[in-house]
Structure 1
C-alpha cells in the first residue's frame, strides 16, 4: 500500500511517497473512522501512561484511563473502588491471579455495554485472546517473572487500546454511562 506523507513548513509543502507494508487492508471508505479510532486510542494511551506515572495500579490506571477518556458519569472514587481488588492479579495474588489490566478491560466493556451481556461476554473473550497472544499468558505473576515490572504499563496500554477499538467497533455510547439502575431503567 502506498501512503502519501505531507509536511508543511511555512509556505513550502514537501510530498513524499512511501511504501507501507501492512498485514491488514483498510478500505479507503474507512479512513475517517480509522482516524477517529486512532485519536481515541491515543487519548486512552496518554491517560493510562499519565496514571501509571502517578503510581496507580494496573487495574486502576487502565479502568480509570478508559473511563476518563471515553467519558463516564461514574464518580472516580467508585471507579477506583471497583478496580482496587484486581491489583497484582486479584488481591496481589500475582502467581495465581489474572492481570489487573485485563480485569479492568473486562469491567470497562460491561460499563459501556450495560444492556448487552452476550456481546460483552464475546468481547471479553476476544480481549482475553488478544492479551494472551500479545503476552503469552494472562497470569500477572508470569508476566512479572518474565519481564519484571517493566511490562506492566505495556499490559495496561495493550488492554486500553483494544478496549477502545472494540467499543468503537460496537458503536458503544460514550460519556453517558450509568452503572446503577432502578426499576429496570437507567438512572439519569
Structure 2
C-alpha cells in the first residue's frame, strides 16, 4: 500500500477510466490494510482525510463500504457512518466480491440496523454458494454468524459458524 498508492496517484490522470481505477486501487488497499492488525494504523493515516465518494458506481460503493468499516473501527459516530453504509447496501449488489457490503454491514449491525444487514449477507451467501465461491461463502457466513451473535440469536449464529467452519476446512491449503 505504501508504494502502490503513491505510484497510482502519480501515474493516473483525471479521465473517467483512470478515476475508476484509482478508486478501485484505494478500495483494495483498504480491504487488504484492514485485514491485518499490523497495517490498520497505516491505513487509518492514509485515508484519514479521504472524502467519501458518492457511491454511484460499484467501485465507489466498494470504497465507501471500506471507509465505513474504517470509520467504525476508529469509533466515529454512527450518525455520520450509517447513511454512507446504507448507500452501499441500497443497490444490493454482490459485485467486487461483496467487500463493500461486508464493510458497510459492520457499521450497520453495530448501529443496530440489523434487517438490511441480514438481507445483504444472505444475498452474498446465496450468490457465493451458487457460483461455487467457497471462500466468499465462508466469509459471508462468518459475518452473518457475528450479526446473529450480536442480536442474541445464538442458534442461527452457531449454524452460520458451523457452515463457515465446514467451508473453510474444505478449502485447498496454500503452502
TM-score by length of structure 2 reads: 0.29
Identify the structure with the greater strand proportion.
1
Identify the structure with the greater helix proportion.
2
